[in-house]
Structure 1
Amino acid sequence: MIITRRILAMVFIIPIILGLIIGTQLIDNSNNDLKEEIQDSCNLRYENNNRYIKEYVIPSKCSAPVAITIDSEGIVWFIENNHSKIASYNPEENSFNEVIISEVYSDIQSWSMIAVDDDIWFTDHRNNFIWRYMKSENIFEHYILPTENAYPVQIINMEDKIIVSEIFGKKIAILDKNKLSSNTSNGINEITPEIDLEVLGGIATDNEGRIWFTMLTWPIEGHLGNYKDGKFTSYKLPEGISSPVGIAIKDNNIWINDHGSSQFVLFNLENNTYTKFVTSASKSDFTTTLPYWNKFDKNGNIWMNIHQSNTIAKFDIANQILIEYDIPTKNFDWGGISNPLQFDIDNQGNIWFTEWTENKIAVLDAQKALEFTIETSTREIHMNKNELKEITLIIEPKDRIMANIKSSGTFTINGLLENVSITFEQIDNEFDTIQEIPILIKTENLEVGIYTIMISVESQEITQSIPIKLIIK
C-alpha cells in the first residue's frame, strides 16, 4: 500500500515538476552552428508571433524560466532556473536585466513569485527557501522553511503575511513579514491540513481571511480545504477532479483547475454545488490538456494556462464563453507545446507568461478584438437518456476567416464524448458572413445526471467554446 501511494503521488507530481527536473539537462549547443544536427537545443530559439501573442527570447540561453510576476511599475520579473538569476524585462525600453541571486547558494529554482510593494518574493524548491529581493537596495534575503524538502510551489500575499504551499511538505507556510530574519525560520509558522493527503496543490485567500487550498488524497480523490483561526474545513471534489492545482476565488465562487484532466470546476459556496467545465479538444500531440494555474483580471474574467493544449485561456464569466489563445511556438520534440508553466496579469490586463523549454517570455494582448464571435440557440438542454435534439450554432466573423467546429464534454476526463454523439457539417471554405450551423445532439444510454457540453469554433489562432448544460432525466 505504501509503495502504491507513493506511485500515485508521483503520478500527480510528475506533470507539475517534470519540467524542472529535466530543466537542468537542457541541451547547451552554443558552439554548434549546425542546426540540422541539433534536435532540441535550447540555444536555438526564435520569436514566433501571431495576432494576439508576442514572444521575447531571453538573452541568456537555456535559462528555463517558470516563475513570473509584474510589479506596480509594469516591469516583468522572472527567475532563470538554470542560471540562479532573477531577471527583469522593461516593456517600454524593450530591455532585459539580470541579477545573480546568491554567491553562496547555487541551483536556485523557482515555481512561483509575487511583487509586493518594492519587493519581489519567490520560492526556491531546491534549497527549501523563500527569497525576498528588495529592489531599491538590490539586496536578497532568504528564509528557511522548517519542513525539510517541502517543495514550495506557490506563493501569495495576504496583508502582512506571505502564504506558501508546500507540495511534499503537505503544509501551508505562513510567513510574518515583520518577524522574519534572513537565513533562519524565525517568523514562519506551518499548518498541516487535518486530512490524510498525498500532496498539497494551490492556495488562495478570500475576503473573510480564510486560506483555501487544493489537495490530492488517497485513493485518487481531489479535495478542497480552508483554514482560519486554527480550524480546518474540507470538501470532496467531484469525480474526475483528482489532481486539483490552480485555485481562484471571487464572489463566493471558487474556480479550480485539474492538472490531471482537461477539466476545470466551479464550486459555489452559497449552495455548495459544483459545475464542471472542459476545455476544447487539444491541438497538440496530447489528448489531455491539463489546465494549470488560474487568476482573475480586473474585469472579473478568469485566466488560465492550459499546459498541454499550448494555450492561454480566458473564461468570460459574464458571457459564459471560453476563449483559448494558441501560443505560436509549438515544439514538436515536446509534443507540440512550449511548456507555458506560469503567467501573470499586468495593469492593462495583458497576460505575461513563461515558455520553459523555449527560453522565452511572451505577452498576450487581451484588448485586441477577436476575429469572430459565437453564440448558440440555447445554453441548457433537457433530454432523456436516449434522445435526439437539435440546436443552432451562430458564427459571426469580423474578417474573412477559416474555422472548424469541434465538441467536447465532461463525460470523460479528457473531454472525449461518451454515450453521446454530436454531429454537424463543417464549413469547407473561408467565409465573411454570419453562419448558422445545425448541431445534432444524440444521447445513447447516458446516465441520469448533469453534464457540460462545449461547442467550439477553432480558427488558426483562437478557439471559442460555449458551455451548454445537459440535464439527463
Structure 2
Amino acid sequence: MKKQHKGIFFVVIFGGGLLFWATAASMPGAGPMNEEPEITITGTPADNFSDTDRPRFCGSGNAKSTDFVTEYSIPTECTNPLAIVADYDGNVWFTQTNTGKLAKFDSNTETFTEYDNPIWPKNGRSMMWGIDYAPDGSVWFTDEAFDSVWKFSTIDEKYDRFGYPSEDDALPQRLAITGSQIIVNDFTGNKLTFFDLGQSADEIQYISLPSPIDNSVTADFTLDENNNVWYTNWLFQQGGVLVKFDYNGYRNAVQESGKEFFAGDMFTEIYQLPVELLTPNGAAMSNDGKIWLADTTSSSFFSFNPITEEFTQFITADPLLSAYGNQTGVIKNPISRPYWIDSDEQGRIIFNEQNANNISVFDPKSNLLVEYHVPSKNPYWGDCDPGTGMMLADCGLAQIFDFAIDGEKIWFTEWVENNIGVVDTSVPLPLEIQLESETISISPGDSRHLNFIVSSKSSDAVLGNSLILSSSHDFLNVEVSHDSSESFQLIPGTPHPIHTNLSASEDAVSGTYKILVGAQSSDIAIGKFITVTIE
C-alpha cells in the first residue's frame, strides 16, 4: 500500500557551498567536460555559462514587438526568466533561474525591480516552474534544484526558504494558492503536496498524496468549483490517467476519525487518457466545468467532459518555418508542443506552444483559435545554421516556458532571450474566417469538398497569408484544391474564397474529430475548428 505522508515544513537557511555541482548538472550545457570551458568574466549572471554557451542561454538580440505582442528586455544580463504571475496592482512578478531572484515589472511605469536573494547559493541555478501571488502580498515559488518552496514578502522584501518534503528524487514544479492552502505537484517524486498556511511563520504542516501509477510523473493540476483537484499521472511516451481527488472529503474524514490514512479509491476517481495523449503537462478548468490538457509531444490539446467522460482532441496550426529553421531538412513533421494551459474569465483557453514560439487563445464558444507569434527568437534552439556557421537572424525559439493572464493581457517569459512580453488580446484581429459549415460527415475511403472564406478586416493594408489546414489524425486529410493556393494576399474589401478537399482513408476509424482551417501571417495565425464525423 502506498503511504500518505504528513509532516511539518520548516524554514531552512542555505549553507555556503550547497551542492552547486548538482545544480549545474541539471541545466543543459552545464555538465562535465573533458576540457575546462573558456569563461570571460563579466560580473553578470552570464558568468554561469561558458563563452560558447552564452548565445544559447543569454539571448541573441533586443526586445521586439508586433501589433499584438510587446517585449521588454530585463536590465540584468542572462537571468533566464521562468515562472510569472500578475498581482492586483498592475505588477508582474517572475523568477530568474540563473540568479535565484524574484523580479517585478511595473506595467504602468514599464520599469523593472530585481530583488537580491541573500540566502541563494553563489552561482546557483534552478528551474523555478511554479509561482503564485497571495492576498497578503507575498509571492510563493518553487525551486527544483534545491527541493524548495520560497516565500517572498513584497512588504518587507524578505525571502524565506522552506525545504520541500521528499524521500528520494523530487522536483517541486507548479504551485497554486487556494484559500489557506498551497498545492505543489512533485513531478518526479510522483505526488501532490498540500501545505497549510494557517500555521506559524516558521513551520507549515503538509500532507503528501502519492499518485496512483508507480514510477511515473505527477504533472500540473487544476481545481473545479467544488475544490476537487484534477491532475495527470503518466509514464513518458506511454500514456497515463487523469485523476480527480476529493481533498475536502478526505480532510473531513480525517477530522472525524482523528487520524491520517491513505486516500485510496474512496476519495479518488481515475480516467484513462486517450492513446493520442502521451505527455499532458498543463491542466486547466474552464468555466463550463471541462478539464483542458496540453500535450507536449504533439500539436494537440484536449478537453475532458466529466459528465460524459469523453475527451475531445484539438490541434494547432503547424509552426512557422522561422520557428525551427530546418536548414538541414531533417524535420519532416514539425510540431508545436503545447506546454502549460489556463483559462480566463471569458472562458477562453490560453496555452503556450513551446516549439512554435506562440501564445495561443482558444474560444470554445466560437471555435476560434488565435495563435500569437512571439517575435524574438534564439537561433541556437532551432535548425538555423545554413551551413556557413552564421545563424539565420529570424529563426529559432525564445523558449516561452510560462505565462500569466491579466484581464485582456497575457504576460509571458522568454527563458533564453532574457525578455518578458505581453500579448494584448483586445487588439482587433486582421482577418476573419467564415465557414461554409461547422460540421461535416464522411465515410472511410470517401472525400468531400470543404470551402471557407478569408476576409481582411483592414481598411487599407494588403495582408500576405498562408493557409492553415491541420488534422490531428493521418487517416483524415485536408488538401487545397487546384483552383486555390496555399499562399495568397488579402485585399481589403475583397473576400478570398478557399476550396479544399477533405478525405478519409479506407482505414479511417469511426468517430468525431476536429480539423483546423484558417490563415496565418508572420505575426498571427487565425483558424476555426470544423467537427468531422467519420461514419
TM-score (norm 1): 0.89
Q: Deviations over 1:185-240 (max 9, x none)?
A: x4121111233351111011111111111121377013110211131211111111
Aligned equivalent of 1:202: 220
* Closer, same or farther: CA 357–368 of 1 in aligned 2, 3 Å: same
Q: 1:130 and 2:149 equivalent? A: yes
Cα offset, 1:24, TM superposition: 6.2
Please give the residue correspondences for 1:184-199 in structure 2 after superposition, counting only pairs within 5 Å: 186-199=204-217
1:29 and 1:288 map into 2 onto residues whose CA distance is 37
Name which one, 1 or 2, has greater alpha-carbon Rg: 2
* Closer, same or farther: CA 93–19 of 1 in aligned 2, 3 Å: farther
1:219 and 1:309 map into 2 onto residues whose CA distance is 21
Aligned equivalent of 1:267: 304
1:275 and 1:50 map into 2 onto residues whose CA distance is 33
Aligned equivalent of 2:140: 121
Q: Which of 509, 513, 527 pairs up with 1:447?
A: 509
2:144 and 2:72 map into 1 onto residues whose CA distance is 26
Report if aligned partners of 1:202, 1:245 keep a CA contact under 8 Å in 2: yes
1:308 counterpart SS class: coil
Aligned equivalent of 2:281: 245
2:65 counterpart SS class: coil
Aligned equivalent of 1:434: 495
Deviates more, 1:380-389 or 1:447-456: 447-456
* Closer, same or farther: CA 259–145 of 1 in aligned 2, 3 Å: same
Aligned equivalent of 2:402: 342
Q: 1:79 and 2:95 equivalent? A: yes
Q: Which of 354, 363, 370 pairs up with 1:323?
A: 370
Aligned equivalent of 2:477: 420
Aligned equivalent of 2:166: 147
Q: Deviations over 1:372-402 (max 9, x none)?
A: 1112111211111011211221111112311
Q: 1:314 and 2:361 equivalent? A: yes
Report if aligned partners of 2:24, 2:125 keep a CA contact under 8 Å in 1: no
1:122 and 1:162 map into 2 onto residues whose CA distance is 10
Q: Deviations over 1:33-91 (max 9, x none)?
A: xx999854726530111111011111111101111111111111111111111111111
1:98 and 1:204 map into 2 onto residues whose CA distance is 30
* Closer, same or farther: CA 349–220 of 1 in aligned 2, 3 Å: same
Amino acid at match of 1:460: S
Aligned equivalent of 2:269: 233
TM-score (norm 2): 0.79
Q: Deviations over 1:249-301 (max 9, x none)?
A: 12221111011111110101111111100111111226121101111112111
Amino acid at match of 1:187: Q
2:54 and 2:235 map into 1 onto residues whose CA distance is 42
Aligned equivalent of 1:214: 232
Aligned equivalent of 1:161: 181
Q: Which of 507, 525, 529 pairs up with 1:463?
A: 525
Cα offset, 1:245, TM superposition: 1.0
How many residue pairs get aligned? The number is 447
2:522 and 2:38 map into 1 onto residues whose CA distance is 31
Aligned equivalent of 1:385: 444
Q: Deviations over 1:392-427 (max 9, x none)?
A: 21111112311111211110xxxxx44534223225
Aligned equivalent of 2:190: 170
Report if aligned partners of 2:476, 2:502 keep a CA contact under 8 Å in 1: no
* Closer, same or farther: CA 44–470 of 1 in aligned 2, 3 Å: closer
> Which contiguous aligned blocks of 4+ residues in structure 1 show a shift greater than 4 angstroms?
17-20, 23-32, 35-41
Aligned equivalent of 1:3: none
Cα offset, 1:18, TM superposition: 12
1:202 counterpart SS class: strand
Report if aligned partners of 1:29, 1:43 keep a CA contact under 8 Å in 2: no
1:370 counterpart SS class: coil
| Runs of 5+ unmatched residues, structure 1 | 1-16, 412-416
1:318 counterpart SS class: coil
Report if aligned partners of 1:87, 1:97 keep a CA contact under 8 Å in 2: yes
Deviates more, 1:236-245 or 1:188-197: 188-197
RMSD: 2.6
Aligned equivalent of 1:394: 453
Aligned-pair identity in percent equals 25
* Closer, same or farther: CA 219–296 of 1 in aligned 2, 3 Å: closer
| Runs of 5+ unmatched residues, structure 2 | 1-22, 32-36, 251-262, 325-330, 383-395
1:253 and 1:377 map into 2 onto residues whose CA distance is 28
2:518 and 2:277 map into 1 onto residues whose CA distance is 22
* Closer, same or farther: CA 75–27 of 1 in aligned 2, 3 Å: farther
Amino acid at match of 1:114: D
